[in-house]
Chain A
Amino acid sequence: MTGKEEISSKYDDYSLKEVPKDSRYGFFNVFLVFSSVYGAIAVIWAGGALGYGLTFSQAIIAVLSGTVVLGILGSLTAAVGAYSGLSTYVMWRHPLGRWGGKVAGLLLITITTGIGWYAVETWLFGIVMSEIFPNNPFFSVGVAAIWGGILMTIMTYVGYRMLSFLSYFTIPFHIWLIAIGIAIVLALKGGFHTVMAAVPTSHMSLLDGISATIGLYSAGTIISPDISRFAKSAKDAGYAWFAHIIFLYPFLILGGVAIVLATGSYLITNAMLELGMGVGVLLIIVFGQFIINTDNLYSGSLSLVNLIPMRREIASIINGVIGTAIAAYVGFSAGSSITPFENFISLLGDFLPAMGGIVLADFYIVKKYINKIQDPHKRYQFVPNNKYYNINIAGILALALGSIVGYFVNAGIPAINSLVTGFLSYIIIYYIINALGKSPEILPFNYEGGILR
């Protein structure tokens, strides 16, 4: 069940143990990695969706409201990662129990992010390549998906250091391209005045706009400990999250809104291409996809290691091969639709916000006030020769409740409904079971030290 034997390799990235202090990085490194893996093209594209239904002033309100919520939630979650030094899924072993954490990691991350979204992005990479170089077999959708997938898997193999390296060189590069793209579109389409006066093509309520702003980033917020566990301190992690969300997110998403309002084109990249930005636009897409997908695969590999202990880089190859095969299959079988697959992984992704609420409730409320662990560094620490549990009933019930509310209740903001339900129900269930003199945690096991099997 547990073992002192180590799974050690140069690229394992402490997948099943706490990141040691001497392997951690400062504010700036974590800020850049957050900015590149969770930002960029997906955000500017989502801005396009907002610009399709909101005026620019409505979009500002929606984005700023969503940004504040995401900033607070993400900072708290990222701080948990830095305090514990553990990956998101190993952390989940506290509020869900060891088995609960393994199953939740498999369903909510390995299948969705690690394989599902990785496959979708790799397939899209193949499509972009085939558009850049039409009628070239090496750049056909299926073939490009295969070599693109292999490249992304190699990057993920190296792990956090590669993510850092990519982030350092692509974030300034990316910001430059996007800023210039926005400036060109605005300059040639009548400037900021046109944007402010533009009427959106369709209608979206302000609440839906806020919901979209939060929903887009909620998964990244919840799995932020995968990155923040490398932060030197909780303060560095929290500030890095808050800084990147406050400075970068509104810039990118409102840039997307402005372009759509100015051009009337739903696809931002098409608008930029039509205005003569040439290969720059395609670089935005390709680099964005590469980094986002490397992180998808990275989180997927961490959650697979949590399920079945193995070297993390081997897990990245397993996920990478499955995801690339799916992408290539879709690419080769022309005419087949990826929509049912996307719907399936989106459905699983809907259950993620509840998990975020449960982690926050467990770390900041239950561990502190019910379990009386005042030192935050010790709340998620696995101490050798101590007893831990395989199932946490409170966590599993709260996850079910939060997921049901998030999925079925459409009033308000579904991601927030789910998160708040998970947060409150976990505390209430844990407190009631505890007050009845029972423990919500059952099926104990003894952790003997070493890696967390």
Chain B
Amino acid sequence: MNLFDNYKIFTISNIIVGLVFSALYFITTGFIQYYNLVYGILTLGIAIWGIGRYYFKKIEDDKIRVGVQTSWLIVSFALGYISIIYAPVLFTRLEIIIIESILSIIQILWGSVLLAISYRKGYSVIKV
């Protein structure tokens, strides 16, 4: 599977992840509702924006660059998301925290692996 196909799958998966985070709004209470909703919408927005840009780019090289940019945004926001999820003010049920943690760790690890592979192939995040 080539690099662009990997990015496409990652981006589409993040639409699902964004929907799950948004859905957490309905099964939680307190500030964590809004925290997950905003993060879910943000993830959805970045992923949809990325897919839109894939569609308009005709050359595969450009599509990979879009993939790098999309993954970078998702990874860095996921780092911000998870770093505060255990704060007392955002505390919720244990099973919800596990879902939140697993999903964001998947975003971070999967995205980082793709970025590392891209870097080795000459698509450095600071150059694309």
Task: Give A residues with C-beta under 8 Å from B.
Answer: 25, 29, 161, 164-165, 168-177, 180, 183-184, 187-188, 275-280, 283
Closest A-B pairs by Cβ, 5 of them: A176-B80, A280-B84, A276-B89, A276-B88, A278-B87
- The contact of A172 among B77, B88, B89, by CB within 8 Å, is B77
The answer to whether A177 touches B84, judged by C-beta atoms less than 8 angstroms apart, is yes
The answer to whether B86 touches A278, judged by C-beta atoms less than 8 angstroms apart, is yes
- The contact of A180 among B35, B79, B126, by CB within 8 Å, is B35
Distance in Å: Cβ of B101 to nearest Cβ of chain A: 14
The answer to whether B75 touches A277, judged by C-beta atoms less than 8 angstroms apart, is no
The answer to whether B76 touches A172, judged by C-beta atoms less than 8 angstroms apart, is yes
- Please name all residues of chain B whose beta carbon is closer than 8 Å to the beta carbon of A169 when the two chains form the complex: 72, 75-76, 79
B2 within 8 A of A: no
Given A173-B77, A180-B35, A168:B125 Cβ within 8 A: yes
Minimal Cβ-Cβ distance residue in B for A170? B76
- The contact of B126 among A161, A171, A188, by CB within 8 Å, is A161
The answer to whether A173 touches B79, judged by C-beta atoms less than 8 angstroms apart, is yes
The answer to whether B79 touches A277, judged by C-beta atoms less than 8 angstroms apart, is no
Distance in Å: Cβ of B61 to nearest Cβ of chain A: 16
The prevalent SS among residues of B at the interface is: helix
The answer to whether B87 touches A277, judged by C-beta atoms less than 8 angstroms apart, is yes
Minimal Cβ-Cβ distance residue in B for A163? B126
Distance in Å: Cβ of A309 to nearest Cβ of chain B: 27
- The contact of B80 among A172, A183, A277, A278, by CB within 8 Å, is A172
B127 within 8 A of A: yes
Bound CA span A130–B90, Å? 25
- Please name all residues of chain A whose beta carbon is closer than 8 Å to the beta carbon of B110 when the two chains form the complex: none
Distance in Å: Cβ of B48 to nearest Cβ of chain A: 17
Task: Give B residues with C-beta under 8 Å from A.
Answer: 31, 34-35, 72-73, 75-77, 79-81, 83-84, 86-89, 125-127
A-B contact pairs, 18 of them (CB 8 A): A29-B126, A165-B125, A165-B126, A168-B125, A168-B126, A169-B72, A172-B80, A173-B77, A173-B80, A173-B83, A175-B80, A176-B77, A275-B89, A276-B88, A277-B89, A279-B86, A280-B84, A283-B83
- Please name all residues of chain B whose beta carbon is closer than 8 Å to the beta carbon of A276 when the two chains form the complex: 87-89
Minimal Cβ-Cβ distance residue in A for B125? A168
The prevalent SS among residues of A at the interface is: helix
- Please name all residues of chain A whose beta carbon is closer than 8 Å to the beta carbon of B81 when the two chains form the complex: 176
Bound CA span A161–B89, Å? 37
The answer to whether A174 touches B80, judged by C-beta atoms less than 8 angstroms apart, is yes
Bound CA span A284–B99, Å? 24
Given A173-B77, A280-B83, A164:B126 Cβ within 8 A: yes
The answer to whether A279 touches B127, judged by C-beta atoms less than 8 angstroms apart, is no
The answer to whether A168 touches B72, judged by C-beta atoms less than 8 angstroms apart, is yes
The answer to whether A278 touches B76, judged by C-beta atoms less than 8 angstroms apart, is no
- Please name all residues of chain A whose beta carbon is closer than 8 Å to the beta carbon of B88 when the two chains form the complex: 276, 278
Minimal Cβ-Cβ distance residue in B for A175? B80
The answer to whether B83 touches A25, judged by C-beta atoms less than 8 angstroms apart, is no
- Please name all residues of chain B whose beta carbon is closer than 8 Å to the beta carbon of A177 when the two chains form the complex: 80, 83-84
Bound CA span A389–B34, Å? 62
Most chain B C-beta atoms within 10 Å of own C-beta, residue among A170, A174, A280? A280
Most chain A C-beta atoms within 10 Å of own C-beta, residue among B31, B34, B72, B75? B31
Bound CA span A172–B108, Å? 14
The answer to whether B87 touches A173, judged by C-beta atoms less than 8 angstroms apart, is no
- Please name all residues of chain B whose beta carbon is closer than 8 Å to the beta carbon of A164 when the two chains form the complex: 126
- Please name all residues of chain A whose beta carbon is closer than 8 Å to the beta carbon of B80 when the two chains form the complex: 172-177, 180
Minimal Cβ-Cβ distance residue in B for A164? B126
Known: A165-B125, A168-B126, A279-B86. 8 other contacts (CB 8 A): A29-B126, A168-B72, A169-B72, A176-B80, A180-B84, A183-B34, A187-B31, A275-B89
